[in-house]
């Protein structure tokens, strides 16, 4: 609420013209393991536009694949529509993470990507990127690794969906968000969830009512403290205990 409003302002200040060498996310984003002048070359092909507002699309399913994207600030959800027109969320992306890699197979995005809050993204035109990758083996390797990471994340989620009940799924989800916040240098103990209860339910294969009930249950047993989208982890070990495994 008040806090999240403040955060948005900060995000907007830091956005737009910061290049890769100055970006505070350099250590977790695409450029890891590149030499300084290679980072410069990468930076040269990256396009940065004005921030995207909540609910705006970065790309839509079916559009021609042109670029992959790095998230600089905000949050993104990626989703497909099922045959019968239902939304299925396939992932949430936080700052420093890459999205759009689903578009490569068929030269068209298979997901749509929308901003969950005001977000700035770095667009990486793929044809340029591909060319650069052939010249920079470490960039090629890095991208292979990122795609592989996406695969193992998805497989981890499959495992959670197949084996774990509602509480375990949500605990795993919270731990995943916490870990990814920490990676960005933010708190793993308290944070704002960028997505709605309904988005969480959609992602985890639960109804919104079940998500809500689990949150109150975890709150009442003093494992987490919740206030709308604000989450504070009070008893990390207990949360790990109920989760068993982590998703994404």
Partner DNA sequence: CGGGTCATTGAGTCAGCTCAAGGCTCGTGG
Partner DNA sequence: CCACGAGCCTTGAGCTGACTCAATGACCCG
Contact residues toward a copy of itself (CB under 8 A) are 80, 82-84, 86, 88, 90-91, 101-105, 110-111, 130-131, 133-135, 137, 140-141, 143-145, 147-152, 154-155, 157-159, 161-163, 202-205, 244-245
Give the nearer residue to DNA in terms of CB position, either 29 or 174. Answer: 174
CA distance 88 to 82: 7
Binding mask 82-121 for DNA (x = CB under 7 A): ----------------------------------------
Does the footprint of DNA cover residue 66 (CB under 7 A)?
no
The piece of 19-27, 93-101, 173-181, 194-202 that touches DNA (CB under 7 A) is 194-202
CA distance 149 to 145: 6
**Binding partner at 141 among DNA, a copy of itself, none, C-beta below 5 to 8 Å by kind:** a copy of itself
CA distance 35 to 180: 25
Q: In 3D, which of 94, 88, 91 has the Cα closest to residue 119?
A: 94
Q: Which of 166, 186, 234, 236 forms a contact with DNA (CB under 7 A)?
A: 166
Does the footprint of DNA cover residue 221 (CB under 7 A)?
no
Alpha helices per DSSP H over the chain: 2-14, 36-45, 126-135, 137-163, 166-183, 197-204, 208-220, 236-243
Give the nearer residue to a copy of itself in terms of CB position, either 90 or 119. Answer: 90
Are 206 and 165 in contact by the 8 Å Cβ rule? The answer is no
Q: What minimum distance in Å lies between the beta carbon of 33 and a copy of itself? A: 12
DSSP SS3 for 213: helix
Give the nearer residue to DNA in terms of CB position, either 7 or 24. Answer: 7
Please give the C-alpha separations between residue 211 and each of 29, 87, 204, 218, 225, in angstroms, as whole numbers.
Answer: 31, 17, 9, 11, 15
Does the footprint of DNA cover residue 198 (CB under 7 A)?
yes
Q: What minimum distance in Å lies between the beta carbon of 117 and DNA? A: 12
Work out the number of other CB atoms within 10 angstroms of the CB of residue 152.
10
Query: What does the binding site for DNA look like in residue numbers (CB under 7 A)?
Result: 1, 165-167, 196-198, 205-213, 215-216, 226, 228-229
């Amino acid at each position: 609420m008040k806090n999240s409003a403040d955060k948005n302002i900060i995000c907007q200040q830091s956005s737009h013209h910061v290049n890769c060498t100055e970006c505070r996310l350099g250590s977790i984003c695409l450029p890891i393991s590149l030499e300084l002048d290679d980072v410069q070359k990468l930076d040269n092909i990256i396009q940065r536009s004005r921030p995207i507002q909540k609910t705006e699309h970065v790309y839509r399913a079916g559009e021609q694949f042109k670029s992959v994207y790095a998230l600089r600030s905000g949050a993104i959800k990626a989703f497909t529509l099922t045959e019968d027109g239902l939304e299925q969320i396939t992932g949430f992306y936080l700052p420093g993470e890459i999205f759009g890699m689903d578009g490569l197979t068929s030269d068209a995005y298979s997901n749509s990507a929308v901003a969950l809050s005001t977000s700035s993204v770095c667009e990486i035109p793929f044809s340029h990127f591909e060319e650069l990758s052939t010249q920079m083996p470490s960039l090629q390797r890095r991208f292979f690794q990122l795609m592989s990471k996406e695969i193992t994340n998805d497989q981890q989620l499959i495992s959670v969906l197949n084996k774990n009940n509602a509480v375990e799924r949500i605990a795993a989800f919270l731990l995943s968000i916490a870990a990814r916040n920490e990676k960005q240098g933010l708190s793993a103990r308290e944070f704002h969830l960028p997505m709605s209860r309904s988005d969480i339910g959609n992602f985890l294969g639960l109804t919104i009512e079940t998500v809500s009930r689990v949150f109150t249950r975890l709150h009442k047993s003093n494992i987490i403290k919740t206030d709308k989208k604000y989450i504070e982890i009070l008893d990390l070990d207990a949360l790990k205990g109920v989760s068993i495994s982590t998703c994404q």
